Structure 1
Amino acid sequence: MTAEGRTAGTVPVLRVRNLVKEYGAGEARVRALRGVSLDVERGDYVAIMGASGSGKSTLMNILGCLDVPTSGTYLIDGADAGRLDEHRLALLRNRRVGFVFQSFNLIPRMSALANVELPLVYGGVRPAERRARALAALEQVGLTDRVHHQPNQLSGGQQQRVAVARALVTAPALLLADEPTGNLDTASTRDVLEILDRLSASGRTIVLITHEDDVAGHAKRVIRLVDGEIVDDRRQAPVDGPPPRLPEAAP
């Protein structure tokens, strides 16, 4: 069994075909995505890179079922997102996608434990099971001693680890991380990337959106976007030994 609790098969976790996204109309029309196609297999760790305006954030929103394409198809874990109404799309997003955002997106007046439980509350999971699963997720990210702390009592790195635990608690088919180290210092960046490395080694499927080469270097595969098109898609040689350490911040 994979870490997602399903038997690995031939169906990719993500299958995207000819994805187009346009904004505006007429002369003001902007094509953010121009026929993007890709597969992400179960257990893969993919970094999607691109400069500002490359389309990577638009692609992330569509992959996470936060937006819909103008045309093209998108299947997640075999389910065709384009054929779902808003309610079923929300269920798909809650059950099969775990999100980690640059800004953490934690609820300020809730404890770390309550923040991690939140997706299970929306999913109708009973309180005892919610608590057990949330505690297990917090243990995975090394925060068993911070379960009752509120976000303002945690460092930025600890807040992001809570966000990773919240993303894991539903056992999603896909972990989708959007610039997860963008607001972190060097030490916290290293901690979060090491957690993602361990999750990948355990079989998690991860798609990481980033503009940083050091961060993308942790992934097994790097996809580069330019002007809404994939210009490079290559697998990286595995790194022997522990994950590479990032350079220390300048004084």
Structure 2
Amino acid sequence: MTVLDVREVTKVYGDGDTAVHALRGVSIAVEQGDYVAIMGASGSGKSTLMNILGCLDVPSTGRYLLDGTDVGTLDDRRLAIVRNRKIGFVFQSFNLIPRMSALANVELPLAYGGVKPAERRRRALAALDRVGLADRVEHEPNELSGGQQQRVAVARALVTAPALLLADEPTGNLDTRSTEDVLEVLDGLSAAGRTIVLITHENDVARHAKRVIRLVDGRIVDDRRRSHVDDLPPGLVGLR
């Protein structure tokens, strides 16, 4: 089953001589259970692509189908519903609510979706257990390490059982040990069949993915499935 189907997508900001072509005919198909890293230097278009994949922006031309739904046909209200139900976001900055427990933070997407309290609690506890934080459910973010906060964010992304887990530089604010902990969680989710798209400029992070896509100047210049953990394409090493 195809979860992401991006067809000849372009994105242009501005008009005339000042127009910026952020994406130039990008096509990507991501199947259920795949684990994809999208890499590129600053200005490559990877952030623009992430925003489109996350239904935070729309293409100038082309089509984007998410789990069979043509995103371009949706109004703002329906787009918000799709974001909440079909996409789990993990951001570099965690985006946790400071004075709420880990459990309450993870329950938030379900609360917005109208899920009853008892069911919210059950699903949030299961998600926190899945990321190894069953013993930290009542801790607030300032009582958790950076790696633990990011794992709470992963649990929050998982709690709606989304079609896609979209992670934007999820280890960018973490030390080496916390990075390894978070990547171990993502690896486990991938092994369990989750569909993950990871935006990163870090070679060591991209090595965890099954497939690496490289963007340069708004175009895909390399898209290959990796057979070995150290088999990144030449040119991906050291991208910053």
TM over 0.5: yes
Identify the match of residue 176 of structure 1 among 149, 154, 166: 166
Identify the match of residue 217 of structure 2 among 219, 227, 231: 227
Tell me which residue corresponds to 1:194.
184
Q: TM-score, normalised by structure 2?
A: 0.94
Distance (whole Å) between structure 1 residues aligned to residue 171 and residue 10 of structure 2: 28
Q: Is 1:51–2:41 an aligned residue pair?
A: yes
- After superposition, residues 61-140 of structure 1 pair within 5 angstroms as 61-140=51-130
Q: CA deviation at 1:239?
A: 4.8
Q: Is 1:28–2:18 an aligned residue pair?
A: yes
Aligned residues: CA RMSD: 1.0
Q: Partner amino acid for 1:130?
A: R
Secondary structure in 2 aligned to 1:13?
Answer: strand
Residue by residue, what CA displacement relative to the aligned partner does 1:36-80 show, whole Å, maximum 9, x if unpaired? 001000000000000011000000000000111111100000000
Identify the match of residue 136 of structure 2 among 120, 138, 146: 146
Asked if 1 retains the 8 angstrom alpha-carbon contact of 2:207 and 2:229, the reply is no
Distance (whole Å) between structure 2 residues aligned to residue 107 and residue 172 of structure 1: 21
Residue by residue, what CA displacement relative to the aligned partner does 1:78-120 show, whole Å, maximum 9, x if unpaired? 0000000100011011000000000001111111000000000
Distance (whole Å) between structure 1 residues aligned to residue 217 and residue 12 of structure 2: 12
Show structure 2 runs of 5+ residues with no match.
231-240
Secondary structure in 1 aligned to 2:2?
Answer: coil
Q: Partner amino acid for 2:149?
A: Q
Secondary structure in 2 aligned to 1:92?
Answer: helix
Distance (whole Å) between structure 1 residues aligned to residue 108 and residue 43 of structure 2: 32
Tell me which residue corresponds to 1:156.
146
* 4+ residue segments displaced more than 3 Å: none
Show structure 1 runs of 5+ residues with no match.
1-10, 241-251
Q: TM-score, normalised by structure 1?
A: 0.90
Secondary structure in 2 aligned to 1:144?
Answer: coil
- Percentage identity across paired residues of the two chains: 79
Distance (whole Å) between structure 2 residues aligned to residue 91 and residue 48 of structure 1: 25
Distance (whole Å) between structure 1 residues aligned to residue 17 and residue 139 of structure 2: 51
Distance (whole Å) between structure 2 residues aligned to residue 238 and residue 196 of structure 1: 18
